[in-house]
Amino acid sequence: MKYVDEFRDPELAKTLLAEIERLLPKIKTTSQRPLQIMEFCGGHTHTIFRYGLEQLLPKTIELIHGPGCPVCVLPMGRVDDCIALAERPEVIFTTFGDAMRVPGSRKNLLQAKADGADVRMVYSPLDALELAKKNPDREVIFFALGFETTMPSTALTVLQAAEDNVKNFSLFCNHITTVPTIKAILDSPSMQLDGFVAPGHVSMVVGEEPFHFVANLYKKPIVITGFEPIDILQSLWLLIKQIAEGRCQVENQYARVVATGGNSPGLAAMASVFELRDYFEWRGLGSIDQSGVKMTEAYSHFDAEKKFSMPNLKVADPELCQCGEVLRGAIKPWQCQLFGSACTPETPMGALMVSSEGACAAYYNFGNLQEIMTLKEKSIS
């Protein structure tokens, strides 16, 4: 596939790994502890596991998996709200596929569907709008989630709905923002990160400027990165070069897709339709200020939270769940007491085992399971 295959070239991978190996010993700290680089985005976590990149890297560099998986950080209470909406007889509840198996306190959306709720998987919010037009006697709700990456598509769909005067379409808005989350991680006293692999598709929308604070304020190097294995390896090389040369800057490795200023039409649509919430609840990370968006007054007739009542309860994770610690990068997935036993992709306890971008699912599906379970047993004993 064009613009994909070239960035999976094993020869280029070898080149980059050789450069990384050459540079790492030049960084003094690596003699005492490995460099800790965080990839924020779930899509990056997925690539790292799918291509076994961590195993190819020297032990003097460690990859910490961040909480950038919007499905993984959905609190159980919000899933319960989805189910309450879906169970209304007049509602067609539409959602992206990976949200369907996230556990709520009683069941997930897929189970709600099996129990009779009209839950439908859509690829695009535009498909949900089409459903609304084709079913004028039903209320179509779109479960809008994702970071800034999917905000333009949701916003533009609302603008199209307004233009077409569609009355039976609304959003259950769970969009979250990247910058406050990265800031919360950087402010966390237990984190000792040396650099960031920045989310390439968030940046495609918001541009480079929102990430300047990481280099300017927190003095950490940060590289905006694409999603193929060569992209990630090149970013790690650029980060290591920065550290070796004592620089801390924002670099754009993904220039073929990311423009410095981001996506203007997308940003304009977002500014019309969304505004920041004062705070938003994140699974495992608690409440983060200004980390979520809600719909503006002008588009409140498309806001499911205004149109319908829902339980809106704060539900705590199951006691044994360690999703929060994995999301914060404090423990590796296999260090969770439930990993591989009570919690597997077939019987997930939390969203990290369900989402295609979740760190636990990635470890389970692509990691060497035998090796991981041995490590787990050793750490318990």
Partner 1 sequence: MCLGIPGQVVEIIDAAKHLAKVEISGVRRQISLACIVSDSHPIESCVGDWVLVHVGFAMSVINEDEARKTLELLMELGEAQKELEAMQSSEQN
- Out of 24, 30, 35, 42, the residue judged to bind partner 1 by CB under 8 A: 42
Sign (positive or negative) of CA dihedral 38, 43, 46, 48: negative
Q: Is 44 in the site for partner 1 (CB under 8 A)?
A: yes
- DSSP label at residue 303: B
The helix/strand/coil state of 197 is strand
Site for partner 1 in 219-248 (CB under 8 A): 227, 230, 234
> Are residues 160 and 126 in contact, defined by beta-carbon separation less than 8 angstroms?
yes
Q: In terms of DSSP bridges, do strands 35-41 and 195-199 run parallel, antiparallel, or are they unpaired?
A: parallel
Q: Pick out residues in 288-347 that bind partner 1 (CB under 8 A).
A: none
* Identified binder of partner 1 from the candidate list 178, 263, 291, 322, rule CB under 8 A: 263
Within positions 58 to 87, which residues make up the interface with partner 1, using CB under 8 A? 68, 70-71
Query: Amino acid identity, residue 10?
Result: P
Annotate 242-256 with DSSP letters as a single string.
HHHTT---EEETTTT
Binding residue for partner 1, selected from 10, 14, 133, 368, defined by CB under 8 A: 14
2 binds partner 1 (CB under 8 A): yes
| 275 touches partner 1 (CB under 8 A) | no
Site stretch for partner 1 (CB under 8 A), options 24-32, 196-204, 241-249, 280-288: 196-204
Q: Is 269 in the site for partner 1 (CB under 8 A)?
A: yes
Residue 6 engages partner 1 in binding (rule: CB under 8 A): yes
CA torsion angle for 313, 314, 318, 321 (degrees, to 10)? 140
Position among 253, 295, 338, 363 found at the interface with partner 1 (CB under 8 A): 253
Interface residue list for partner 1 (CB under 8 A): 1-4, 6-7, 11-12, 14-16, 18-19, 41-44, 46, 68, 70-71, 96, 98, 123-127, 145-147, 149-150, 152-153, 156, 160, 199-201, 204-205, 227, 230, 234, 253, 255-259, 263-266, 269, 357
